[in-house]
């Protein structure tokens, strides 16, 4: 598993998803306050980019912009239909103001 720096924490807009392509991974990264989450950027239902979806900060979910499935940002588990399969999640840490993601160890 490799730790890859993504960006400065201040580069992420609170409550919005941002797409990152690193090596063979495509991630949707979401900042909610001081917490940062990274999940696979493809909806498990319709192969649509999740980074264009709506973040629900209170529920800690990201909604697919095509059919409305919501995915838990902590676990990748779908919270609503039509998606049935989870998306991968990745460990994220913030060190000295830099967002770093662990790749290769998706849950």
What is the model's pTM?
A: 0.93
60 pLDDT above the threshold of 70: yes
Rounded to whole angstroms, the Cα distance separating 63 from 81 reads 11
Q: Which domain holds residue 59?
A: 12-87
Q: Report how many domains make up the chain.
A: 1
User: Please, which pLDDT band fits residue 1 given cuts at 50, 70 and 90?
Assistant: low
Other Cβ atoms closer than 10 A to 93: 11
Residue 105: how many other CB atoms lie within 10 Å: 11
Residue at 3 is within a domain: no
Residue 33 located in a structural domain: yes
Closest among 65, 86, 83 to 75, alpha carbons compared: 86
In a domain, 39, yes or no: yes
Domain-embedded: residue 28: yes
Query: 1 or 104: whose pLDDT is higher?
Result: 104
CB 45 within 8 A of CB 67: yes
């Amino acid at each position: 598993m490799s730790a890859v720096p993504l960006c400065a924490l201040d580069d992420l807009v609170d409550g919005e998803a941002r797409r990152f392509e690193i090596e063979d991974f495509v991630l949707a990264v979401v900042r909610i306050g001081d917490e940062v989450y990274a999940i696979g950027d493809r909806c498990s239902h319709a192969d649509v980019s999740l980074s264009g979806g709506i973040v629900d900060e209170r529920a800690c979910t990201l909604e697919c912009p095509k059919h409305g499935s919501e995915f838990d940002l902590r676990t990748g588990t779908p919270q609503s239909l039509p998606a049935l399969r989870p998306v991968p999640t990745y460990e994220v840490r913030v060190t000295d103001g830099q967002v770093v993601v662990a790749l290769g160890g998706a849950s």
